[in-house]
Amino acid sequence: MQNQPITQKITSLNVCVVIPTYNNQHTLKRVVDGVLNLTSNLIIVNDGSTDATAQILEGYPEIQQIHFPKNRGKGLALRTGFEKAIALGYNFAITIDSDGQHFPSDIPNFIEELDQHITKDVLIIGSRNMKQEGVPGKSSFGNTFSNFWFWFETGIKLKDTQSGFRLYPLKVLKKLNFYTTKFEFEIEVIVKCAWKDVEVKNMPIQVLYDETERVSHFRPFQDFTRISILNFWLVFLTLIYYKPRQFFRNIKKKGLKRFFIEDFLGSKDSPKKKALSVALGVFIGFSPLWGLQTFLAITLAIFFKLNKTISFAFSNVSLPPFIPFIIIGSLELGQLIFQESISYSVSDLMDNFEVIEHLKSYIVGSFALATLGALLFGFVAYFFFSIFKRKKRVLQHD
């Protein structure tokens, strides 16, 4: 018998439940019945099961069902389920695994959480207690690994990014393009939703790992490799697209003056940390690492726990209008270091200057310029930020 209040709320919020299943004959019926106690808005995607799954589902003719003739992967099963849900007019989809580790009784918690965020796009991931007894070590390690890369790629810290018990905003998913078909899809979808400014958050859920009936289809080597390749690609996109886009969008949204005051001066980082961030950005910008400045500035800022926004901003000292001056400065310092003389003109630099002919002088001089520039800008920045911090304290006391 359905819980009428929660059933009505599921209907009013236009939510359905999607269950992807593959060879989980021992737990599937329990999960399906648990969901039906709450709602009949249910879509099951049978991902080519070879056990008794098809026979079990014959007992539920009233449920929307999709059957693949052969196994195609959890990601594709989910994507197909979402496409069906969108075609049926649903706005949200809750996904729950069929292996028995999730409790359908937690679905009302997702609905209550959604009800509090209905005015904005939200993606809710059920957060498991990875320290409880019975949690496989490989699951705990994989989750920690995944959490780190999700934070790196989006700036969002979560406790669990691998749980399959989730609530998705279908109107957002409808506008996105996905390329993965296996377990890695669940990483791709949350990263791309976060990049679309969807609020991605955790919510505590119950979890059961019963090895006597649970069947896991995660293949440690193959699937971990797939996830690693996906994360490599997402990190690359983060550094060359998402972070720069976010930086320039903030400037456009706030205006240069407000952005400078809030994101540079108003940052809670210490003057020392801000100055080191400036120095790092300038060093990268002046160095002869053309095409890698953005990647290196953001990556090293994260590694050294510096201000990513400031480092990225100052790495742009190598914008095209400044490049001839950087090359001239590098060559002059290189000549000074090697005590040699190079004949060139500004027109040579602009037209047909062959830097390869003077590669040694250019590279050494470039790093020397980068070091001097980092020291100069860093000291000036520290002095500037220290004065601003003291003035801010005076104003606050007044």
For the segment 149-167, the average pLDDT, to the nearest whole number, is 92
For the segment 256-284, the average pLDDT, to the nearest whole number, is 79
Model confidence at 53: pLDDT above 90: yes
- Range list of β-strands (E), the chain: 15-21, 42-46, 64-67, 92-95, 122-127, 166-169, 199-204
Count of residues in the chain: 398
When pLDDT is cut at 50, 70 and 90, the band that residue 250 belongs to is: confident
Model confidence at 357: pLDDT above 60: no
Residues 301-344 pLDDT 10s: 888 888 888 888 888 887 767 777 888 888 888 888 888 776 66
For residue 191, give the nearest of 153, 225, 135, 232 by alpha carbon. Answer: 153
Q: What percent of the chain has pLDDT over 70?
A: 84
Supply φ then ψ for residue 341, to 5 degrees: -125, 130
The rounded distance, in Å, linking the Cα atoms of 150 and 109 is 24
Q: Is the dihedral of CA 323, 326, 332, 336 positive or negative?
A: negative
Higher pLDDT, 1 or 127: 127
For the segment 48-76, the average pLDDT, to the nearest whole number, is 96
Say what the pTM is.
0.70
When pLDDT is cut at 50, 70 and 90, the band that residue 103 belongs to is: very high
- Domains in the chain with CATH codes: 4-239 (3.90.550.10), 255-397 (no CATH)
Those residues whose C-beta lies under 8 Å from the C-beta of residue 354, and which sit 6 or more positions away, are none
Q: What value does the mean pLDDT of the chain take? A: 85
Model confidence at 231: pLDDT above 90: no
198-224 burial, b if ≥16 CB within 10 A, otherwise e? bebebbebebebeeeebeeeeeeeebb
Q: Which amino acid would we find at residue 319?
A: L
What is the token pair recorded at 263? Answer: 């994101």
When pLDDT is cut at 50, 70 and 90, the band that residue 245 belongs to is: confident
When pLDDT is cut at 50, 70 and 90, the band that residue 54 belongs to is: very high
DSSP for 62-91 reads TSEEEE-SS---HHHHHHHHHHHHHHTT-S
Question: How much is the pLDDT for 266?
Answer: 56
Burial zone of 32 (CB within 10 Å; 0-12 exposed, 13-18 middle, 19+ buried) = buried
Those residues whose C-beta lies under 8 Å from the C-beta of residue 174, and which sit 6 or more positions away, are 86
Question: How much is the pLDDT for 11?
Answer: 94
Residues 324-335 pLDDT 10s: 788 888 888 888
Rounded (to 5) percent helix, strand, coil in the chain? 60, 10, 30
Higher pLDDT, 374 or 215: 374
